Amino acid sequence: MSVPSARNLGVEDTLSRRARACVARSPKSKRESWRKLVTSLNPTPDGVLLVDKAEGMTSHDVVALVRRKLGIKKAGHCGTLDPIATGLLLLTLGRGTKIQDLLMSEDKEYAGTLLLGITTSTQDRQGEIIARREVPLLDENTIRAAFEKFRGDFYQMPPMVSAKKHGGVPLYKLARQGKVVEREPRLVHVYRYSVDRIALPEIDFGVICSKGFYVRTYVHDIGEELGCGAH
């Protein structure tokens, strides 16, 4: 994982101003002023950190790593990337956590590859295979028509293996206990999609969508629309 260095903006300028104020003082008073200056400066970074998340790490893992490396406690992630997903993860640090909700409300862009003919318990390749179906001969028009059905506003059913909570408990924890609970469909929006490569049973795609969007469920639903399932 590549973690850019974080800098507490304004510290250097503050240091320069206060240092100049110490010049005309006696050696003792200057030493005391420097001591107060150093102890009063806040080394904790504030702002937003852009992280290129590696595969295999949870979003929580990334936050824990950054807290440890930077020696800070106040840090959070904007949205959740699945462990198998890679790419941009926004972290808010220090006072930057005040804009976390604002950042989480922004639209998202994803790119991925779906595999037709196999349905899994988690709607991705890490889950248990629950169904195998033959992939029919699908032409490009049929595939694009299936994608088109999931453009604009539509409802998604949050998967059981997700961070969404039920009664205060994340769904994935209930799923680990073998429980399946009722979930409310969520209204989502796809602004734009692209079908970038068709090499059945694989399809490369891109999607720009609203917050709260589950790419795994998007792939699952397209697979059902095509009559053979997908993950």
Residues acting as catalytic residues: 82
What is the maximal distance between C-alpha atoms in the chain? 87
- Residue 201: is the preceding peptide bond cis (ω within 30°)? yes
- Rounded distance between C-alpha atoms, residue 165 and residue 130, angstroms: 24
Burial class of residue 97 in the structure, from the number of CB atoms within 10 Å of its CB (0-12 exposed, 13-18 middle, 19+ buried): middle
| Residue 116 structure tokens | 């037709």
Nearest to 137 by CA among 63, 72, 42, 201: 201
Element (H, E) at 172: helix 171-176
Burial class of residue 154 in the structure, from the number of CB atoms within 10 Å of its CB (0-12 exposed, 13-18 middle, 19+ buried): middle
3-state secondary structure of 167: coil
